[in-house]
Each structure stands twice: as C-alpha cells, then as structure tokens.
Amino acid sequence: MGAEHQIVGQVYAAKKDTEEADALIRQYMGFIKVETAKFMQRIPVEGQDDELSIAMMAFHESVLAYERTRGNFLKYAGRNIRNRLIDFYRKEKRHRGLISLNQPVSEEDDTEFQDWHSDGRDEIHERISNTAAREEIEEFGRQLGRFSLSFTEIAENCPRQERTLKACHSVLECAVNHPELLEDMLRTGKLPMSKIEEKSGVSRKTLERHRKYLVAVLLAFTNGYEIIRGHLEQIAPVKGGGRQ
C-alpha cells in the first residue's frame, strides 16, 4: 500500500476535519495546478483564473466523496477536476464562441478544432511539465529541510556500489510495504533504524552509512511527489507498494 495508504488516510481524516481538508489542499496544490494547466493549455494564475478556484473546489469535493472502492485517489480527483472544468466552460464560456466540449461536430469541424487545440501543444506541455517539476522539487527541498538535509548532502551520500544500491532498494520496498515505518519517520523526524533493520534484513552499518540518502528516498514515498517517485521507479521499480 505505502504511499497510497498514506494519502487515503489523509483523505479520510480530511472528511471529518476542515483544517485537515485545507491542509490537504495546500499539500496537493501543485497537483491541482497541473491538472488545471492540462485543461487550460497554459499555467493558471492564482487570484486571476476562475478555473483554478473551480479545480480547488473539485479537489475538495473529491475528498468528501472518495471511498476506497473508487481506487487511486489522485486519478479520481483528476477526473473530477476535469469534469468540473468542462461544466464550467459549458456554462460560463459559451457566449465567447468556444466550441462546446460535448457538441457533435462534423468531421471537418472536428479537424479544425483539433488543429487549433494542438497548436503549440508540445511547447505548452513542456512548460507545464517544467513548472510542475520545479514546484515539486522546491516543496521536496522544504520537506528535506525538516530533517536538516539538503540536496547537496543527498547527492554526496548517494550509494555508488551496486550491492549497496540493492540494499537501499530493499529498504525502500520494506518501507512501502510497511507504511508504519514511513509514519514513524514523519512523526519523529528520524529514520526508524531498528525496525527497518529487523524488517528489511539490511545491516545497521549500511543504514547508518546511507541514512541521509534513505531519508530522502523514503520521504519521496510519503507525499504527492509524482515526478520524483516516477524517476526513482524508472531506476528501480518498487515491488508490492501501490503508487498514488
């Protein structure tokens, strides 16, 4: 379960507590902006674009309506954000002459709309991706600061030998499949060495030597760091734990 377990727990807490709900929205503001940007084909501006406010409300509605049976929460919230934005465009933008998003069109009209919609798409998507990555990295850096760590220290502490990399990956798999280890780390601000050693079988000496690197890797699996987690899983796919 891992990261999925983490966010599902936060969602259920937010259902009952408005302060928890507000905190969850702030925590996933980068995700909300990216989903809005995908729809608008540009980066939304806070305080100016109604679409971003609509997306935030849709995210909150998703929190209130979510059940575990609906599957991955972020995918569920992403669909709801898009649906709300489509409704908003239908109701508020039709007078501007925009094509209705569900309006039947001829093959010729459809081609014309697709050409217009695709114009500059690669450039826009690249800008959105770059912005999302930058925001995620900045937020990740702030979280590392809670553990008195920096990106430079992490890079310097990165294991070099394949055997050590495999050991660190075993720790990650263990933590993803035992989310209480991640929760302990977040609560105490320290790596739960004894529990990780017991459950992963990795020696205490290895854990101590690469503590900074392991904290960073595990931290990436406690929050909505989709880009960072995706990069980590491209390097070494995590077995057992679901992604969220």
Which tens digits make up the pLDDT trace of 154-196? 777 777 778 888 888 888 888 878 888 888 888 888 889 999 9
C-alpha to C-alpha distance for 9 and 241, rounded to whole angstroms:
15
> Binning pLDDT at 50, 70 and 90, where does residue 141 land?
confident
Tell me the domain boundaries of the chain: 3-96, 141-235
Per-residue model confidence (pLDDT) at position 151: 75
CA distance 73 to 8: 7
Please determine, for residue 100, whether its predicted confidence score (pLDDT) is greater than 50: no
Q: Which carries the bigger pLDDT value, residue 58 or residue 126?
A: 58
Is the pLDDT higher at 108 or at 22?
22
Helix (H) or strand (E) holding 143: helix 121-146
Q: What percent of the chain has pLDDT over 70?
A: 71
Burial (0-12, 13-18, 19+ Cβ within 10 Å), 117: exposed
pLDDT at residue 121, as a whole number: 44
Instruction: Note the pLDDT of residue 77.
Output: 93
Q: What pLDDT score was predicted for residue 62? A: 92
Candidate CATH numbers 3.40.50, 1.25.40, 1.10.8, 1.10.1740; the one for domain 3-96: 1.10.1740
So what's the pLDDT on residue 13? 92
**Segment 11-36, tens digit of pLDDT:** 999 998 888 888 899 888 888 988 88
pLDDT per position as a tens digit, 47-98: 888 888 999 999 999 999 999 888 889 999 999 999 999 888 877 655 454 4
Determine the residue type at 83. Answer: N
- Mean residue pLDDT across the chain: 75
For residues 110 and 114, what is the distance between their CA atoms, to the nearest angstrom? Answer: 6
Q: What is the band of 105 on the pLDDT scale with cuts at 50, 70, 90?
A: very low
DSSP-derived letter for residue 241 is: -
Write out the two tokens for 22.
Answer: 């507000």
Sequence-distant (≥ 6) Cβ neighbours of residue 61 within 8 angstroms: 80, 84
Q: Calculate mean pLDDT across residues 145-152.
A: 82
pLDDT for position 180 = 87
More confident residue, 226 or 176: 176
Calpha distance 13→103 (Å, rounded): 40
DSSP string computed for 147-193: TT--HHHHHHH---SHHHHHHHHHHHHHHHH-HHHHHHHHHHSS--H
pLDDT at 118 over 60: no
Q: pTM of the full predicted structure? A: 0.46
Instruction: State residue 3's pLDDT score.
Output: 55
